Amino acid sequence: MTFIKKTLASSIAIAATSMMAATAQAEISDGEIRIGYLADMSGTYRDLAGPGGLEALEMAIEDFGGSVDGAPIEVMSADDRNSADVGANTVRGWIDQDNVDLVAGMVASSVTIAVTNVLEDNDKLGIVSGSAASSITNEHCTPNHIHWVYDTYPLANGTAKAVVDQGGDTWFMLTADYAFGHALESDVEKVVTDNGGTIVDRIRHPFPTEDFSSYILQAQGSGAKIVGLANAGADTVNAINTASQFGLVQGGQQLAGLLVFLNDVYAMGLETTQGLLLTTGWYWNMDDESREWAERYYERVGRMPTMVQAGIYSSTMHYLEAVEATGSDDAQTVRSYMMEQPIEDFFARNGRIREDGRMVHDMYLAEVKSPADSTHEWDLYEILATIPAEEAYRPLSESDCKLVND
């Protein structure tokens, strides 16, 4: 009798589980999870996200098991060529023809803003991992995207404040002339002036730019103690290399790289970059958990990952966990669940998603090591300080996001 009761109970439980699984899959559109990876795959930002970011996304899918409750996960990718029109048209095609559920990656801020408008119009979800403009979750926020890795606000708070505190109180700003550069320049100016410094001059350069000679000459002529580089990728590398050729540092000025990635430092070498202060959202060698994931990535790619590539893995896992938990790929259902769950993994410490779509987490002030202090080719940073999540990002009390309640 006991055996019969137990068998009957087990049968009921198995049937219920099967019904729940069938219901969950029925709520996943077309019976598949479809992710579109959009990034600069061949240009200025190729190394900080690019094909390596796609590899990180595919790692997350493999680690998750390749499906959600039996629904396979399909990935498509495209090169946006850092063009807002190309990016927006690509995503429209993915939505109209392929029923994409999630758009991941997204690097150039101008592309991201155009794409998130398309996502909002079609009620699809996007996770932004490569873009820096803080406006993406401020005046350009939507209920259809989440900003994951970093933005210009903590970069300015971390690096600019540290430089001013060390006596770098007069600045010349060299800025990429598009949304990201403008946002970073604005955030840096606020930090510098709030801490008693001055922006003595500024100039904006086209994106991308190869020849920085005239800009560096103007920076030298400004007399500013600090030349702030409000650009990224190849632009930052070209600017730093040109400054080195022109003897800017030897002349008594200092460079502040406001968005410097691991791949940039690696490309330029420690002789050129040693002593540079920077703020980062993650570093591969900061603890055992980070090292374990980074070494798996290295085995596949042959390079250590940037914070963006690590963030793509982290955000993809959080998304897939939300789809599994809700049994749905509906954008608002998934986004709501993601907002309810704390984020604590190898990438994010003390992470959570706010109502404006900003994923806040601890950030780190780092200094580039000297060649003598580095133990191997990817041992590039010394972490100097942790910037707690609640201090790193723009407070909601200062937000212009339409999703934030007054």
Mean pLDDT within 286-307: 98
Domain 153-280+363-392 has CATH 1.10.3720.10: no
pLDDT tens by residue, 111-137 = 999 999 999 999 999 999 999 999 999
Cα–Cα–Cα angle for 297, 299, 303, rounded to 5 degrees: 65
Residue 20 reports pLDDT greater than 90: no
15 — pLDDT class (breaks 50, 70, 90): very low
Looking from the CA of 235 toward its CB, the CA atoms found within 13 Å total 25
| Domain residue extents for the chain | 30-150+287-361, 153-280+363-392
Instruction: Please determine, for residue 8, whether its predicted confidence score (pLDDT) is greater than 50.
Output: no
Cα→Cα distances 318→166, 186, 279, 321, 379, Å = 39, 32, 24, 5, 29
Confidence of residue 224 (pLDDT cuts 50, 70, 90): very high
pLDDT of 343 higher than 70: yes
> Between the CA of residue 259 and those of 271, 284, 340, what are the distances in Å?
19, 17, 30
**Mean of pLDDT values over 297-315:** 98
Span 302-324, mean pLDDT? 98
What pLDDT is attached to residue 17? 39
Nearest to 354 by CA among 285, 281, 405: 405
CA angle 139, 145, 151 (to 5 degrees): 60
Q: Please determine, for residue 22, whether its predicted confidence score (pLDDT) is greater than 80.
A: no
Dihedral angle at the C-alpha atoms of 185, 182, 206, 308, nearest 10 degrees?
90
Same fold across 30-150+287-361 and 153-280+363-392 = yes
- Top mean-pLDDT range of 28-32, 258-262, 358-362: 358-362
Question: Residue 257 pLDDT more than 90?
Answer: no
Q: How many angstroms separate the CA atoms of 273 and 261, rounded?
A: 12
CB 178 within 8 A of CB 109: yes
Per the model's pLDDT, the better-predicted residue between 295 and 385 turns out to be 295
Q: Is residue 3 predicted with pLDDT exceeding 60? A: no
List Cβ neighbours of 316 (8 Å cut-off, separation of 6 or more): 35, 56, 57, 60, 61, 104, 127
The listed CATH number (1.10.3080.10, 3.20.20.140, 3.40.350.10, 3.40.50.2300) that belongs to domain 30-150+287-361: 3.40.50.2300
Share of the chain above pLDDT 90, in %: 82
Q: Which two tokens stand for residue 251?
A: 């002349």
Report residue 406's pLDDT band, with 50, 70 and 90 as the boundaries. low
The tokens describing 335, both together, are: 């986004």
Instruction: Give the pLDDT score at 2.
Output: 38
Supply the mean pLDDT for the chain: 92
Mind listing the pLDDT tens digit for each residue in 50-107? 999 999 999 999 999 999 999 999 999 999 999 999 999 999 999 999 999 999 999 9
What percent of the chain has a predicted confidence (pLDDT) above 70?
Answer: 93
